[in-house]
């Protein structure tokens, strides 16, 4: 008969928790945690940002949200008449019905978006998706419960080069807090040249017919939350939204991290 009595499950749990916190403490000692934006060391959050940088982003999001055009997400003065969009988008067919962004593409959000372009920073995406869900929770709460989250797909060649699709990773970060399903009816059938330095009309031309949506009867009448990292002229999201609507989607709302000015 063994003299050692088997450990109870609660004792095993306490030992496992103790061991995990020891490992964490050693890890913190060898690789001290630093905030990605301000470089502050330490902190208990273990996300990429310290509490004050995170609060700063949420403050910027609150200011931007209060003065953004509901149609194209451009930051506009608080006294503008935005009923049919802002002066930039009024009268233009955008392809999508509404857009919301965490904040303008500037300062620390610009820094985070640039990091997100590299696969080694893919771990940031779910965290930023979560932040977007928190910052725009009142707008997201108005979505029908059967809304699909659809990330803007990359052309397979670009995806191969980059190693991952940041829009997909952001969508994952939004899916859990919003409790909405991710589906991918879209395919990017045209490899578009880099669009960053092109004029709006050239972007529109380049993006025409860039996406196709798989025929799917369950798309009929559906609301779609189309997710991407940055909204610039709206040509990419507009083309994706048009393809979704052609396949039966009723309403497309764009959600991005950053809106360029
Ligand atoms: Zn910080
Ligand atoms: Zn607008």
Whether the Cβ atoms of residue 181 and residue 175 lie closer than 8 Å to each other: yes
Mean pLDDT to the nearest integer, 216-221: 95
Residue 17 within a domain: no
- The per-residue pLDDT for 1 is 46
> What pLDDT shows up at residue 162?
87
Answer yes or no: are the C-beta atoms of 257 and 232 closer than 8 Å. Answer: no
7 in a structural domain? no
* CA of residue 39 to ligand 1 center, whole Å: 6
Q: Is the pLDDT of residue 250 over 90?
A: yes
Report the separation in Å between the CA atom of 69 and the middle of ligand 1, taken as the mean of its atom positions. Answer: 29
Number of domains in the chain: 1
Å from CA of 17 to ligand 2 middle: 51
pLDDT over 70 at 16, yes or no: no
Q: How far apart are CA 173 and CA 186, in angstroms?
A: 19
Å from CA of 237 to ligand 2 middle = 14
With respect to residue 151, please indicate whether it lies within any of the assigned structural domains: yes
In a domain, 33, yes or no: no
Residue 57 has pLDDT above 70, yes or no: yes
Domain that holds residue 148: 51-77+86-193+201-259
Flag whether pLDDT at 166 surpasses 70: yes
pLDDT given at position 118: 92
Is residue 6 included in any domain, yes or no? no
The enclosing domain of 183 has a CATH number of 3.40.50.2020
Q: What is the rounded CA–CA span in Å between residue 83 and residue 80? A: 9
101 located within any domain: yes
Cα of 38 vs centre of ligand 1, distance in Å, is 4
- Section 18-29 average pLDDT: 58
Residue 209 inside a domain? The answer is yes
Contact (CB, 8 A) for 216 and 224? no
Q: Nearest ligand to the C-alpha of residue 91?
A: 2
Question: Of the ranges 6-20, 143-157, 175-189, which one carries the lowest mean pLDDT score?
Answer: 6-20
- The answer on pLDDT for 252 being more than 50 is yes
Tokens 């233009």 belong to residue: 92
For the entire predicted model, the pTM comes to 0.84
Beta bridge partners, 83, equal 85
Domain assignment present for residue 28? The answer is: no
- In the predicted structure, residue 8 carries a pLDDT above the cut 80: no
């Amino acid at each position: 008969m063994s003299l050692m009595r088997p450990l109870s499950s609660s004792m095993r749990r306490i030992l496992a928790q103790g061991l995990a916190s020891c490992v964490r403490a050693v890890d913190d000692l060898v690789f001290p945690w630093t905030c990605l934006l301000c470089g502050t060391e330490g902190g208990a959050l273990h996300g990429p940002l310290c509490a004050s940088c995170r609060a700063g982003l949420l403050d910027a999001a609150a200011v931007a949200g209060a003065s953004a055009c509901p149609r194209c997400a451009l930051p506009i003065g608080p006294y503008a008449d935005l009923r049919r969009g802002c002066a930039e988008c009024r009268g233009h067919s955008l392809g999508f019905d509404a857009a919301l962004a965490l904040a303008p593409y500037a300062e620390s959000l610009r820094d985070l978006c640039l990091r997100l372009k590299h696969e080694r920073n893919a771990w940031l995406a779910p965290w930023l998706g979560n932040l977007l869900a928190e910052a725009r929770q009142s707008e997201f709460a108005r979505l029908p419960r059967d809304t699909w989250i659809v990330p803007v797909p990359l052309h397979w060649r670009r995806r191969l080069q980059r190693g991952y699709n940041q829009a997909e990773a952001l969508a994952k970060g939004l899916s859990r807090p919003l409790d909405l399903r991710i589906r991918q009816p879209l395919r990017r059938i045209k490899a578009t040249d880099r669009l960053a330095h092109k004029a709006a009309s050239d972007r529109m031309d380049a993006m025409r017919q860039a996406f196709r949506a798989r025929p799917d009867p369950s798309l009929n009448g559906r609301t779609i939350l189309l997710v991407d990292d940055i909204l610039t002229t709206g040509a990419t999201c507009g083309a994706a939204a048009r393809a979704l609507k052609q396949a039966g989607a009723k309403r497309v709302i764009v959600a991005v991290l950053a809106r360029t000015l």
